[in-house]
Amino acid sequence: MTGLAFDPVLPWPILAALAALALLVALWALWRGLRGWLWRGLAGLAAALALSGPALQSGTSNKLSDIVILLDDRSASQALPGRSAQTDEAVDELTRRLEAIPNTEIRRVTVGDDDDDGTLLGTALSRALAAEPEARLAGVINVTDGLLHDMPMLPATAPAPVHTLLTGQPEDWDRRLVIEEAPTYGLIGQSVNIRLRIEDQGNVPASVAGQPARLRISVDGDNERQLDLPPGVPLDLPITPEHAGQNVVSISFDAPEATPPELTDRNNAAAVQIQGVRDRLRVLLVSGEPHAGERTWRNLLKSDANVDLIHFTILRSPDKLDMVPVQEMSLIAFPTQELFMERIRDFDLIIFDRYSVQGILLPVYYENVRQFVEEGGAILVSAGPEMSSVESLNLSPLGAILPARPTGRIMSGPFLPQLTDEGMRHPVTSGLPGAPSEDEQDGHWGRWLRMSQSIPSPNAQVVMKGMEDEPLLILNRVGKGRVAQLTSDQVWLWGRGFEGGGPQLELLRRIAHWSMKEPELEEEALLADVSHDLSVTVTRRTMKDSAGPVRITGPDDFAHELPLTEAGPGRFTAEWVPPGPGLYRLVDGDITRVIAVGPAAPREFEETVATPDRLEPLAGQTMGGVLRLSDGVPSIRTVREGRPAFGEGVGGDWIAITPREAETISGQTHRPILPDWAWLLLIAGLALTGWLLEGRGWGRPATPDEQA
Amino acid sequence: MNLLRKLAVALFASLALPGPSLAQDAEPDPRLVRAADEVALAYVVTGDEEADRASEAGLRGLSEVLTQRTSVEPGEPIGINLDEDDLSLLTFLYWPITDSQTAPSAAAYARLNHYLRSGGLILFDTRDGDIAGLGGPDGSAALQALAAPLDIPPLAPIPADHVLTRTFYLLEDFPGRYQGNRVWAEAPPADAVATEGVPFRNLNDGVSPVIIGGNAWAEAWAIDKRGLPSFTVGASFEGERQREMAYRFGVNLMMYVLTGNYKSDQVHVPALLERLKEGETAE
Interatomic CA distance for residues A432 and A339, integer angstroms: 34
Interatomic CA distance for residues A645 and B18, integer angstroms: 83
Q: What is the mean pLDDT of chain B?
A: 79
Q: Which pLDDT does position B253 carry in this prediction? A: 94
A498·B6 Cβ contact <8 A:
no
B262·A450 Cβ contact <8 A:
no
Residue A441 pLDDT greater than 70, yes or no: no
**Nearest residue, CB atoms, B203 vs list A303, A447, A500:** A303
Q: Which of A281-290, A401-410, A454-463, B10-19 is least confident?
A: B10-19
**Nearest residue, CB atoms, B260 vs list A298, A314, A316:** A298
Interatomic CA distance for residues B33 and B27, integer angstroms: 10
Assigned domain for B9 exists: no
Residues A275/A186, Cβ–Cβ less than 8 Å: yes
Q: Which pLDDT does position B57 carry in this prediction? A: 94
How far lies B112's CA from each of B92, B140, B149, in Å?
12, 20, 10
Long-range residue pairs from B20-29, CB within 8 A, at least 24 positions apart, any chain = B20/A497, B20/A499, B20/B86, B20/B88, B20/B110, B20/B111, B20/B114, B21/A499, B22/A499, B22/A500, B24/A414, B24/A416, B24/A442, B24/A446, B24/A447, B24/A499, B27/A414, B28/A414, B28/A447, B28/A449, B28/B86, B28/B89, B29/B85, B29/B86
Q: Give the HSE-up count for residue A629: Cα atoms under 13 Å, Cβ half-sphere.
A: 29
Residue B239 maps to which CATH number?
Answer: 3.40.50.12140
Residue-range domain boundaries for chain A: 2-60+666-707, 65-168+610-657, 173-273, 281-319+331-436+444-515, 525-597
Q: Hey, what CATH topology would domain A173-273 get?
A: Immunoglobulin-like (2.60.40)
**Residue numbers in B near A309 (CB within 8 A):** 198, 265
Compute φ and ψ for A484, nearest 5 degrees: -135, 145
Q: Which pLDDT does position B10 carry in this prediction? A: 43
B198·A302 Cβ contact <8 A:
yes
Residue B45 pLDDT greater than 90, yes or no: yes
B71 touches A: beta carbon within 8 Å: yes
B265·A328 Cβ contact <8 A:
no
Confidence of residue B269 (pLDDT cuts 50, 70, 90): low
**What residue of B is the nearest CA neighbor of A285?**
B262
**Residue numbers in A near B71 (CB within 8 A):** 288-290, 313-317, 320
Mean pLDDT of the region B208-225:
91
B199·A302 Cβ contact <8 A:
yes
Residue A523 pLDDT greater than 80, yes or no: yes
A321 touches B: beta carbon within 8 Å: yes
**Nearest residue, CB atoms, B168 vs list A299, A329, A446:** A329
Mean pLDDT of the region B191-215:
61
Interatomic CA distance for residues A398 and A405, integer angstroms: 11
The percent of residues above 70 in pLDDT, for chain A, comes to: 96
**Residue numbers in B near A321 (CB within 8 A):** 68-69
Expressed as residue numbers, the domain containing B57 is 27-282
Confidence of residue A374 (pLDDT cuts 50, 70, 90): very high
Measured distance between the N- and C-terminal CA atoms of chain A, rounded to whole angstroms: 63
Does the structural domain A65-168+610-657 have CATH classification 3.40.50?
Answer: yes
Strands A66-73 and A104-111, how do they pair? parallel
Residue A563 pLDDT greater than 80, yes or no: yes
A58 touches B: beta carbon within 8 Å: no
- Predicted confidence (pLDDT) per residue in A317-365, tens digit: 888 888 888 778 888 778 888 889 888 988 999 999 999 887 788 889 9
Interatomic CA distance for residues B95 and B130, integer angstroms: 18
**Residue numbers in A near B9 (CB within 8 A):** 442
Q: Which pLDDT does position B7 carry in this prediction? A: 44
Strands A652-657 and A646-649, how do they pair? antiparallel
Confidence of residue A707 (pLDDT cuts 50, 70, 90): very low
A582: three-class secondary structure by DSSP: strand
A562 touches B: beta carbon within 8 Å: no
Residue A695 pLDDT greater than 70, yes or no: yes
Q: Which pLDDT does position B136 carry in this prediction? A: 53
Q: Which of A368-377, A680-689, B258-267 is least confident?
A: B258-267
A303 touches B: beta carbon within 8 Å: yes
CATH architecture of A281-319+331-436+444-515: 3-Layer(aba) Sandwich (3.40)
**Nearest residue, CB atoms, A321 vs list B68, B86, B202:** B68
Mean pLDDT of the region B86-94:
90
A319 touches B: beta carbon within 8 Å: no
Domains A281-319+331-436+444-515 and A525-597 share a fold: no
B36: three-class secondary structure by DSSP: helix
Per residue in B9-22, is it b (16+ CB within 10 Å) or e — as a string? ebeeeeeeeeebeb
Residues A648/A635, Cβ–Cβ less than 8 Å: no
Scanning B145-184 for CB atoms below 8 A from A yields 166-170
Q: Which pLDDT does position B223 carry in this prediction? A: 92
Q: Which pLDDT does position A440 carry in this prediction? A: 53
Confidence of residue B107 (pLDDT cuts 50, 70, 90): very high
Residue B20 pLDDT greater than 50, yes or no: no
Q: How far is A568 from chain B (nearest CA, A)?
A: 27
The percent of residues above 90 in pLDDT, for chain A, comes to: 16
Q: Which pLDDT does position A327 carry in this prediction? A: 79
Residue of A442, A445, A491 to mutate, interface with B, max B Cβ within 10 Å: A442
**What residue of B is the nearest CA neighbor of A358?**
B71
A310 touches B: beta carbon within 8 Å: yes
Residue A702 pLDDT greater than 70, yes or no: no
Q: Hey, what CATH topology would domain A525-597 get?
A: Immunoglobulin-like (2.60.40)
B259 touches A: beta carbon within 8 Å: yes
Interatomic CA distance for residues A313 and A285, integer angstroms: 8
A498·B86 Cβ contact <8 A:
yes
Scanning B184-213 for CB atoms below 8 A from A yields 198-205, 207
- Predicted confidence (pLDDT) per residue in B149-179, tens digit: 888 888 888 888 788 888 888 888 899 998 8
B220 touches A: beta carbon within 8 Å: no
Residue A410 pLDDT greater than 80, yes or no: yes
Q: Which pLDDT does position A706 carry in this prediction? A: 46
- Predicted confidence (pLDDT) per residue in A600-621, tens digit: 667 778 888 888 888 889 888 8
A343 touches B: beta carbon within 8 Å: yes
**Nearest residue, CB atoms, B36 vs list A309, A310, A490:** A490
Q: What is the mean pLDDT of chain A?
A: 85
Mean pLDDT of the region A242-269:
83
Assigned domain for B110 exists: yes
Residue B34 pLDDT greater than 80, yes or no: yes
Q: Which pLDDT does position B134 carry in this prediction? A: 58
Residues A69/A23, Cβ–Cβ less than 8 Å: no
Q: How far is A565 from chain B (nearest CA, A)?
A: 35
- Predicted confidence (pLDDT) per residue in A130-171, tens digit: 998 888 899 999 999 888 888 888 888 888 899 999 998 888
Q: How far is A290 from chain B (nearest CA, A)?
A: 6
Q: Which pLDDT does position B263 carry in this prediction? A: 80
Interatomic CA distance for residues A179 and A461, integer angstroms: 46
Per residue in B31-40, is it b (16+ CB within 10 Å) or e — as a string? bbbbbbbbbb
Q: Which pLDDT does position B68 carry in this prediction? A: 92
Tally the domains of chain B. 1
Confidence of residue B193 (pLDDT cuts 50, 70, 90): very low
The percent of residues above 90 in pLDDT, for chain B, comes to: 30
Q: Which pLDDT does position A698 carry in this prediction? A: 56
Residue B200 pLDDT greater than 60, yes or no: no
Residues A562/A529, Cβ–Cβ less than 8 Å: no
